[in-house]
Amino acid sequence: MGKLLAEDTRRHHRSLILQHLFAEGPASRADLARATGLTRVTVSDLVGGLLADGLLSELGSPAESKVGKPPTLVGLLADAAHIVALDLSPADRMTGAVVNLFGQVKARAGVVLDGATGEEAVRLAVGLAQELREAAGAPVLGVGVGTPGVVDGRGVILDAHNLHWAGVDLTGILRRKLDLPVYVANDANTAVLAEYAFGGTTAADLMLLRIGIGVGAGLVVGGALVQGHAWAAGEIGHVVVDPEGVRCACGKTGCLETILSAPHLRGSDRPLASVGTVLGGVLAPVVAALNLHEVVLAGPPDLLDGELRLALDRCVRDRVMAASSADLVVRMSPLGDDVVLVGAAVLVLSGELGVS
Ligand SMILES: [Zn+2]
């Protein structure tokens, strides 16, 4: 019991150090002691362990140091470990990448679905993960997966209807086949984690709206992912915006997805600005209720980053009080098509190293 607690404490302290280096970049041992509140002795001991594990390296002294013996900086090594990341959200294929500790893509692979669903689709995902593990150029820290559908806290896919998955324990299957730590989450949730960790933002309250074949959102509030009581937080694609409109795949009529998904934006003659205004009507209460700092759009820039984004921005500001909109930013994600892959890597970084 005592030993277990000591191990837990050590693991927690280790993640405090990694978290600081991950967020702030290289630091001296004294900086780390100040930032974490740990003693110099504890920090030196933990840094020694991390250097021995190959996760950190000594980076010499900062050039501007003029007085006294300059401190030696230590920093995370980007390629000390690699992560296998899968994005199962495209309509016709599964994509994957080897991602390093800084969220950089080192290798890619993909597989065409060719109509595969159910167990056949599970086999394709396992094969893709195995292929990427072989392609990794460093020890593999774990496997992260962003999947469409609702995923529970244990990584079981409760419902992903395009893949005909219901109650599929993809986490357990991948863990058994690859013998590595595995993390599976909804694609929009992984995307917002990518934005939070690697999107260059300082916001701790943000919503990322992912627009592709469907529409989904991920929410980080107070720096934590919001999952909801039934793991379905962010499912705003099926909020009805036009009861007289088009029948949706979910069975309802006139869902947001029926006007905002990429195929509908391309196929319809509805002006993009008017879609932006409808979206603003859906998001304004969310922005007001949660006092969000950023609304981030991820999807085809030719459709989103123009009239649609501007109308969305205008509409939200028109409909909430000044205190809610004063610092609001409505922008595109800089992570492009890799947003889910990078987010899948963040799941592993967070689960295995305690950083995000
Ligand atoms: Zn619907």
pLDDT tens across 252-282, in order? 999 999 999 999 999 988 999 999 999 999 9
Q: Across residues 183-198, what is the average pLDDT?
A: 96
Per-residue pLDDT tens over the stretch 69-119: 778 999 999 999 999 999 999 989 999 999 999 999 999 999 999 999 999
**Cα 247 to ligand 1 centre (Å):** 8
Q: What is the mean pLDDT of residues 1-22?
A: 83
**Is 80 exceeded by the pLDDT of residue 68?**
no
pLDDT range class, residue 236, cuts 50, 70, 90: very high
Residue 161 Cα, ligand 1 centroid: separation in angstroms? 12
Q: How far is the CA of 270 from the centre of ligand 1 (A)?
A: 19
pLDDT of residue 185: 97
- The predicted-structure confidence for 125-139, as pLDDT tens digits, reads as follows 999 999 999 999 999
Span from the CA of 261 to the centroid of ligand 1 (angstroms):
11
For the record, the structure tokens of 291 come out as 């006092």
User: What are the percentages of helix, strand and coil residues in the chain, rounded to 5?
Assistant: 45, 20, 35
Is pLDDT above 60 for 145?
yes
Ligand 1 centre to CA of 87 (Å) is 22
The CA 255 to ligand 1 mean position distance, Å, reads 5
Cα separation, 310 vs 312, in Å, equals 5
> How does the average pLDDT of the chain come out, rounded?
93
Torsion, Cα 115 209 215 321, to 10 degrees, reads: 180
Helices 187-198 and 339-348 meet at what angle, rounded to 10?
80
Is the pLDDT at 18 greater than 80, yes or no? yes
Going from the Cα of 200 to the center of ligand 1, the distance in angstroms, rounded, reads 33
232 CA from centroid of ligand 1 (Å) = 14
**Predicted pLDDT at 64:** 62
Q: Find the 295 Cα to ligand 1 centroid distance in Å.
A: 22
Residue 216 C-beta-side C-alpha neighbours within 13 Å: 23
In one letter, which amino acid is 216?
G
In the reported structure, the alpha carbon of residue 256 is separated from the centroid of ligand 1 by a whole-number distance in angstroms of 7
SS3 152: coil
pLDDT at 200: 86
How far apart are alpha carbons 209 and 298 in whole angstroms?
A: 6
Higher pLDDT, 162 or 258: 258
Q: What is the CA radius of gyration of the chain?
A: 22
pTM: 0.90
**Residue 2, pLDDT score:** 63
The 329-332 sheet, strands edge to edge: 224-225, 215-221, 206-211, 294-298, 329-332
**How close is the Cα of 301 to the center of ligand 1, in Å?**
24
Report which of residues 273 and 19 the model is more confident about.
Answer: 273
Q: Determine the distance separating the centroid of ligand 1 and the alpha carbon of 95, expressed in angstroms.
A: 25
What letters, b where the CB count within 10 A reaches 16 and e where it falls short, cover 316-332? bbebbeeebbeebebee
pLDDT of res. 67: 65
Rounded to the nearest whole angstrom, what is the distance from the C-alpha of residue 283 to the centroid of ligand 1?
17
Distance from Cα 126 to the centre of ligand 1, integer Å: 30
Pair type for strands 294-298 and 329-332: parallel
Q: Is the pLDDT of residue 62 over 90?
A: no
